[in-house]
Structure 1
Amino acid sequence: MNLQILGLKLSRYRDQLTESLDEVAIATGIDAERLRLIEEGQLEPSGDEILILADHYHCDFKFFISNEQVAPFEQTDTLYRAHGREFSKNDRIAVQEFLYLCDTEEFLMQELNRRPTDFSYRPSGNYFKGNGEGAAAAFRKTMGHDDRQVPRDIYAEFRSVGVHVFRRKLGNSNISGLFIVHPTAGRCALVNYSEDVYRQRFSAAHEMAHAIFDSKEGPSVSFYRHEQVDRREVRANRFASCYLMPPAFLQRLPAPSGWSEADAQKWANELRVSCDALGIALKEAELVDARISAKIRGFRVPRESKIDPELPENLTEIQRARKTALLERGLSDHYVGLCLDAHSQSLISLGRLSEALLCSHGELAEIASLYGRRIHGN
């Protein structure tokens, strides 16, 4: 174990989380002066200290004890250099947890022999909107949709082609999502769970477009309100619109020019999108003029009418609150299912299961029960 490389890894993780040595010392119970010497490569940590620090930074301990230098922080370094002021300390911790979940999900997928479906799209020319439309049509075809079918579980569809998608709460409500290529997990998309549930669907589809087109372009952050026009963002928005609101479906709608507020809400809810997104899509399809588009965009689907596939109506109030808290940390039905499957097949230990689910041993039975499962051996 190269102590200089180890120390550099630890210091870079700490810098990215904007934590002081004293803060890490309080969180881990390791003396601040000892931490300084470890980061400087002057002192070899114990095995327990490596495990504690790996847990604190949400990183596989094997990465710390190897001399491997490729790490997710190469991508997040770039991200924070460009948009560092947008991410609070808590948001940086959230991003680090998200990357940990992506890495763990990839590991579990391989251990369980869950292989993704191949999907790729090769754009032609520089017509970015057209490429977004073409990719949406190609992806819908791969998913088995006809030209009018509205996709329901979009997160499952994105995961089925090897993109790690996690909804995770961020403090900055202007961040819709981000896309990062993880060195071991591959393409990873974070969707801000603080957003409206239908806005989350659009954000996820937007990040999927980045996964299709921009994997070689480095990490990106998508904002709810864009200060500048970026052709890649325009393309991603066009992909999301055509994937969620297929043009053939829009063409068969009753004339939008005569819609009431209830009509707009009805069709937006059928498409699982906001009235804002629907109004824009109708104008793009030349089905309404700017005035009618603005009118439709001004309507809102009532919160109680919106459908979140991971918060079904049959949950009790206590179950809904508990599951919402887990979803805020990124624990999707898909991910929790993978963790429990791996443990039931003795592919991971009970300790590794609690680490993967970001919880204590005592919470495992409760979480499993919430998802209709039991801990193997209990």
Structure 2
Amino acid sequence: MSRELARRIAFTIGALLLFRLGTQIPIAGIVVHPAFAADRIAPLSIFSLSLIPYLTAAILVQLVAVVWRRVRALERSGEAGRRKLARITLILALLLAAFQAFGIASAMRQLPRLVVNPGDWFVVSATASLVGGVLVLIWLSEQITRRGIGNGLALILSVSIVASLPSEVETFLTQLRRGAISSNVLVGNAILLILIVALIVFVERARRNVPVQFAARFVGDRSLLSRSTVLPIRINSAGYLLPVTVAPWAISLPVAFAGSIFGADDGSWVEAISAHLQFGEKTHIVLGSIAVFALAFVYTAFVIDPDHAAESLARQGGVIPGVTPGEATASYLDRVVSLTTVIGASYLTALSLIPEVFLAYGNALVYKMGGGAALIVVCTILDLQTQVREVSLTNPGGVRR
């Protein structure tokens, strides 16, 4: 192990330990009973909101970029444009955090024997603590990305998921000892989780390699020889967070809007529709699957622009064998991306269905660790593996060995 790699790993471990320490620091002004377990303190800690407001803000900015060409151009305009978008995302995240924190603090002071002095000052101080916790986590995730190893945001999310697993496993083992579930169910769940992880590893590493031939050319005083390479296209170019996060919004927001106009009293048609669209209901499963599948296509079209890729290849003297440069290349890439996205969108839809289907049939273990949670953890580990290899093969000056 190189000295640089050891330093980065040590920094990352220290930052993650700091994060875990913060999850055990309760909000000032609440009564933490001695009987509280460590995992029960976390929802009442200064890091209670985790990075959810920041993720929500980032997703909203990405959505705006999909539909607003000016924001999309800003994202592709270089480092200055990306810094401006980062500032916008941070401001939006803090606004969302303040809104959520105020609601949580207001609800906490209504709970009996939880808050010492449930007055307005507690709401102000608790809101400030929660928003400050989000700001600290954003800063900490950026420091991990810059000075440590791996993506800081993904690592913090993964550690949160993994840290909750021991208590979940303990709960299921207790149910097994009491006879509430059979050992066959537990073994079946374990096998299913292994298959889910294997599927994620296979798909996330899979690429559709498009052959590209670069002709010999001069760049300044340098002569570049002709060479053959590939243009790798990921099977899952849409990621996970945006399609699966936005899909519930697409289902719930129209119902909420209808309820605000027509009312959602008991027996009303809005209330009946809302009942059928609850998580785990068949209607929600069908509409949610359609929404995830469609959003995967929409976001992939934003991430991969065939026209831009064709222009970039033409500028660099690259051609796809057997395909005419220009519009024909763009059409060819569009067909390849579309066919690849069918597989990726089906894969994302299946992952999003796993928790909901198994929760609907009373299988909570797969609900806890299926789909998104497994994808986040596995992709974080794969990214760590890649970065460790890169740092190991790179000298301190940034030159590959």
- Structure with larger Rg: 2
Relative to the length of structure 2, the TM-score reads 0.24
The structure with the greater share of residues assigned to helix is 2
Task: Pick 1 or 2: higher relative contact order, CA cutoff 8 A, min separation 6.
Answer: 2
